[in-house]
Structure 1
Amino acid sequence: MTRAGEGRHGFTLIELLVSLTIFSIIAVAVYSAFAGGVGAWRRAQEFSSTYQTARLVLDDMAHELKNAVTLSGTDFIGEKQGLSFLTVRQRPHAQGRPVDPKITRVTYEVRRDRASATYSLARVEASPVAGSGEDETELVVSPISRLEFLYTYKDDNRQIVAWKDAWRVSDALPLGVKITLVVGETRFTKLVFIPHGLQEKATKPQGQ
């Protein structure tokens, strides 16, 4: 006759510790894989969002540049890290009737946040008449690593000149604007040709 409990083997302390250790290792590995996957997914989402935003902003800039106009004086001011110009905006219809287009001054420039030491692409919309209304400022892409504008036109021989880093020609628009926007390590480039831009002019733009 056997005693109760004979033939039954319980976990020893060492076996229990080994089991817990193995379980902990597996749990940590699973958690690390899960956390890594979530982190990669978030980074992918952030990159996708930034990519889409940058593309949309460049498309908007191209549309506004193609509708750029000159009224009097130096209405188009182009610098390497910013530009300001007048553009025609088609407003929505009111009660089924067409509304006259609106001329507005648009400025794109780099803004620095002192607190975070980061840079942003800012869009400023204002009335074409200085001091006649409040400016509307929006940070359209943030943060950015670099912003650059280059300008070109046709010379007297109707040859397109090399890109210049400034444009200040009275009563004239550049023929083309090259926009380079760098967000993180991703570079976005947009070439915008203005159909009614400068074809030839005796007075050469700055930057040449």
Structure 2
Amino acid sequence: MSRLCEPYGGRGNEAGFTLVEMIVALALFSMVAVLLFNNVKFGVLAWRSGSARADELQRSVVTQELLRHLLGNAYPMTSAENALQPRVDFEGTKEAVEFLSDAPGVSGGAGRFRFKLFVDHARERTDLVMVATPELASAQDVSATRTLLVSDIDHADLAYFGAAAPGASGQWNDSWLKQSDIPGLVRLRVAFRANDPRTWPELLVSLRVRVDVSCVYDPITMRCRGR
């Protein structure tokens, strides 16, 4: 068989590659290149997936820390419909909770804000949303800020631990309305759809401030004096 690298009519002892050898070498090189490309592609996809999951986990941690701070510092300011029935300024249902708390330091705000954490079913999907308004804002004030905490969830529910009635023992309740004190614990569960890889560990927050120690109740205004 003739050598490709051998000149016409050349010498039989000159080294070279046959056509078959070159075809086999090119086929092997193509196979190796395909394997290497697939491995690199798999590595890139795995890195992207791992990075995305790490970002989602970090976002969940930051969100939970924010809620832990706000709920943990909920301020139990008292008000009343009449002088004999003082009520704490804390209203909670299975899908929403509204309370007063200090503004986070990272927000640059000062003083207390009214926060509303709720499950929003608008726009044909379900989101976990929080709205913050300065405590002394008027009804016409437009300074409220809306924050999307967790987007596109399956459902979320809140629960409140404490004695919901005088003389009752502490238990988990689906609502906390018109109570004389804030609950001892607040629990938030968030569930995602079956094909959603995100996770949300159950959030359990202990509310630290039990009474409004600085409140001097005014039976005429039915609020603390000077507020």
TM > 0.5 between the two? yes
Give per-residue Cα distances to partners, 1:85-116, cap 9 Å, x unaligned.
12133769x9xxxx9x51211112234574xx
Percent of paired sites with the same residue = 23
Matches for 1:6-45 after TM superposition, within 5 Å: 6-7=12-13, 8-12=15-19, 14-45=20-51
- Check the 8 A contact 1:178/1:192 in 2, yes or no: yes
* Structure 1: distance between partners of 2:170 and 2:145: 35
SS at match of 2:169: coil
C-alpha deviation, 1:124, in angstroms: 1.1
Could you say what the CA RMSD is over the residues aligned between the two structures, in angstroms? 3.1
SS at match of 1:188: coil
SS at match of 2:39: helix
Residue 51 of structure 1 aligns to which amino acid in structure 2? L
Residue 56 of structure 1 aligns to which amino acid in structure 2? V
* Structure 1: distance between partners of 2:59 and 2:182: 27
Matches for 1:87-102 after TM superposition, within 5 Å: 87-89=101-103, 102=111
C-alpha deviation, 1:196, in angstroms: 3.8
Does residue 1:191 correspond to 2:200, yes or no?
A: no
SS at match of 1:22: helix
The match for 1:160 is: 170
Residue 123 of structure 1 aligns to which amino acid in structure 2? M
Structure 2, gaps ≥5 residues long:
1-8, 81-87, 212-227
* Structure 1: distance between partners of 2:43 and 2:17: 39
The match for 2:150 is: 141
* Structure 2: distance between partners of 1:118 and 1:27: 45
Q: 1:149 to 1:48 in 2, by over 3 A?
A: same
TM-score for the superposition, normalised by structure 2: 0.67
The match for 1:86 is: 100
Q: Which moved more, 1:77-86 or 1:49-58?
A: 77-86
TM-score for the superposition, normalised by structure 1: 0.72
C-alpha deviation, 1:64, in angstroms: 0.9
- How many matched pairs? 186
C-alpha deviation, 1:197, in angstroms: 4.7
- Check the 8 A contact 2:95/2:158 in 1, yes or no: yes
Structure 1, gaps ≥5 residues long:
199-208
SS at match of 2:201: strand
* Structure 2: distance between partners of 1:159 and 1:118: 38
Structure 1 residue corresponding to 2:190, chosen from 162, 169, 181 = 181
The match for 1:125 is: 132
Structure number with greater Rg is: 2
